[in-house]
Amino acid sequence: MYGLFADAHTHIPPCSGELACVSACFPCDWQKLAGFCDLPIKKSYGIHPKAFDSCAGAGRVEVKAAVMELDSYLAGADAVGEIGLDKKARLSPELQKALFEWQLDLASERKLPVVVHSSGRPGETYDILKRWRMGGAGERNRRFLLHAAKFSAELARSFQLLGAYFSFGLRELKLESGAACAASVSDDSLMVESDSTSRAGSLAEAINVLAEIRAVGAECVARITHRNFLRFYGRENSGNLALNGCE
Ligand SMILES: [Zn+2]
């Protein structure tokens, strides 16, 4: 155990005091997360592209109404997410894009970081994030994390040029595409996540696998991912921790 776990993306609050960002990305979960105060977790609210899968025929009006309701939760938020695009979602591609962009706009208005879900539509995800990043208001106010990252090394580099952070769980690291992506990104952009799988064990394992992939010590990966968590989710430029020879 390294004592420095920082879970960049999960849906279940941790049992102990480790750092974690808990994401409520279906409207029915927002209230419950807002009421959680047992531990000092980071809270992320958003509308997942699959959030309307059970509402047959959800259109622009319903989607826009949900976005307006989301805004009322963001005063107490640490991030917006997970939001993005999903090839398997029932919402039309056009409406998914609108939903993603409306939420990116809310995040920049509130100066909140964004947790991005990208499944099967990486090129369109890139185009939307590029437009958003170019939209002004300062880079610090438009930062984003690509969770469950498994992009090609080439696309990962392009995302990196936009200032992306990347988080990896065991699920991705066991895939060739996830391992290649994890090998290609910089120390400054690296995080780990459980995405709600059994947390402590899975984060420790993810850190060990990442250390192997990147040919560094596991303790260094733990310190770096912990520091990046603070930097990404911090309101100010926090996370300037000494890394004791890891960099
Ligand atoms: Zn998730």
For domain 6-233, the CATH class is alpha beta
Partnered with residue 118 across adjacent β-strands are: 85
Q: How do the domains of the chain map onto residue ranges?
A: 6-233
What residues contact residue 137 under an 8 Å CB cut-off, 6+ apart? 108, 111
Residues with CB under 5 A from ligand 1 (ion): 195
Distance CA 39, CA 12 (A): 12
**Angle at 86 (CA atoms; ends 206, 200), nearest 5 degrees:** 20
Q: Using the mean position of ligand 1's atoms as its centre, give its distance from the Cα of residue 81 in Å.
A: 9
Partnered with residue 183 across adjacent β-strands are: none
* pLDDT one-digit tens code per residue, 158-199: 999 999 999 999 999 999 999 999 999 999 999 999 998 765
pLDDT class for 111, splitting at 50, 70, 90? very high
**For range 237-241, the mean pLDDT:** 52
Task: Specify the pLDDT at position 75.
Answer: 94
Instruction: Select from 5, 1, 28 the least CA-distant residue to 15.
Output: 5
pLDDT class for 55, splitting at 50, 70, 90? confident
Q: Using the mean position of ligand 1's atoms as its centre, give its distance from the Cα of residue 194 in Å.
A: 9
pLDDT class for 200, splitting at 50, 70, 90? low
Is 90 exceeded by the pLDDT of residue 243?
A: no
Distance CA 228, CA 241 (A): 10
Q: Using the mean position of ligand 1's atoms as its centre, give its distance from the Cα of residue 141 in Å.
A: 22
Q: Using the mean position of ligand 1's atoms as its centre, give its distance from the Cα of residue 30 in Å.
A: 14
Task: Specify the pLDDT at position 245.
Answer: 59
Q: Using the mean position of ligand 1's atoms as its centre, give its distance from the Cα of residue 80 in Å.
A: 12
Q: Using the mean position of ligand 1's atoms as its centre, give its distance from the Cα of residue 132 in Å.
A: 22
Partnered with residue 85 across adjacent β-strands are: 118
Q: Using the mean position of ligand 1's atoms as its centre, give its distance from the Cα of residue 11 in Å.
A: 6
Return the amino acid letter for 232. Answer: F
Is 90 exceeded by the pLDDT of residue 201?
A: no
CA 196 to chain centre: 13
Q: Using the mean position of ligand 1's atoms as its centre, give its distance from the Cα of residue 158 in Å.
A: 23
Task: Specify the pLDDT at position 193.
Answer: 96
- Which residue has tokens 């895939």? 175
Q: Using the mean position of ligand 1's atoms as its centre, give its distance from the Cα of residue 180 in Å.
A: 21
* pLDDT one-digit tens code per residue, 122-131: 999 999 999 9
Distance CA 171, CA 160 (A): 22
Distance CA 1, CA 12 (A): 21
Q: Using the mean position of ligand 1's atoms as its centre, give its distance from the Cα of residue 244 in Å.
A: 32
Distance CA 224, CA 241 (A): 9
For 164, phi and psi rounded to 5 degrees?
-65, 150
